[in-house]
């Protein structure tokens, strides 16, 4: 396979949460073979890429030894979540429900944008592969709480700007 084609496939798979385990070997903790075939077809329809599936024994031992933390760079993700929490936890102690509509809209927009920037860089890892007390759960819970509390006022701003009856809460936003 030409290097340019291979690089395009690798870049595409990274966007979908795959990580390199070694040269020419990529893995995802959550994407199955049929979904992978669809992803590959989108980026390079004629690509002949071998696909395998693996089951790991002694999963607890691999987690304790830090195998997944190293491969999936959870330290970088933890740092990003720490910055997110440092920025937004102080807001959780304020009466954000009383914020002026445009301020609530701006804060809610930045909150969601920053959380998505972190989550889009990180593969969707099963909880059992994450370190105990995963900081991402705390960040997600904080975002869900602030989003819920900011939404009624933010909806007022959007209703005025868009001249529509904007809903106070978006259905299924921040639901498990």
Q: At 170, is the pLDDT very low, low, confident or very high (cuts 50, 70, 90)?
A: low
Q: What is the pLDDT of residues 128-154, one digit of tens each?
A: 777 778 899 999 999 999 999 999 998
Contact 154, 108 (CB under 8 A): yes
Taking the whole predicted model, whether its pTM rises above 0.75 is answered as no
pLDDT tens digit sequence for 3-61: 888 888 888 888 887 888 777 888 887 788 888 888 888 888 777 788 888 777 776 77
- The proportion of the chain whose per-residue pLDDT surpasses 90, expressed as a percent, equals 32
- Whole-angstrom Cα distance, residue 74 to residue 2? 32
Query: Across residues 73-98, what is the average pLDDT?
Result: 92
How confident is the model over 39-55, as pLDDT tens digits? Answer: 888 888 777 788 888 77
Nearest to 118 by CA among 135, 106, 104: 135
The C-alpha atoms of residue 127 and residue 36 are separated, in whole angstroms, by: 21
Domain ranges of the chain: 3-54, 73-162
Question: Are the CB atoms for 38 and 13 separated by under 8 Å?
Answer: no
């Amino acid at each position: 396979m030409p290097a340019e084609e291979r690089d395009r496939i690798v870049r595409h798979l990274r966007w979908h949460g795959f990580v390199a385990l070694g040269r020419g070997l990529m893995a995802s903790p959550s994407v199955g073979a049929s979904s992978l075939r669809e992803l590959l077809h989108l980026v390079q329809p004629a690509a002949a890429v071998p696909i395998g599936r693996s089951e790991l024994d002694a999963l607890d031992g691999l987690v304790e030894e830090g195998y997944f933390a190293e491969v999936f760079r959870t330290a970088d993700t933890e740092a990003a979540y720490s910055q997110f929490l440092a920025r937004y936890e102080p807001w959780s102690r304020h009466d954000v429900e009383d914020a002026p509509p445009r301020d609530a809209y701006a804060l809610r927009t930045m909150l969601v944008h920053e959380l998505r920037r972190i989550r889009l860089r990180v593969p969707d890892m099963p909880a059992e592969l994450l370190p105990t007390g995963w900081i991402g759960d705390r960040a997600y819970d904080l975002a869900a709480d602030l989003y819920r509390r900011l939404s009624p006022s933010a909806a007022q701003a959007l209703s005025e700007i868009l001249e529509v009856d904007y809903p106070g809460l978006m259905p299924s936003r921040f639901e498990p």
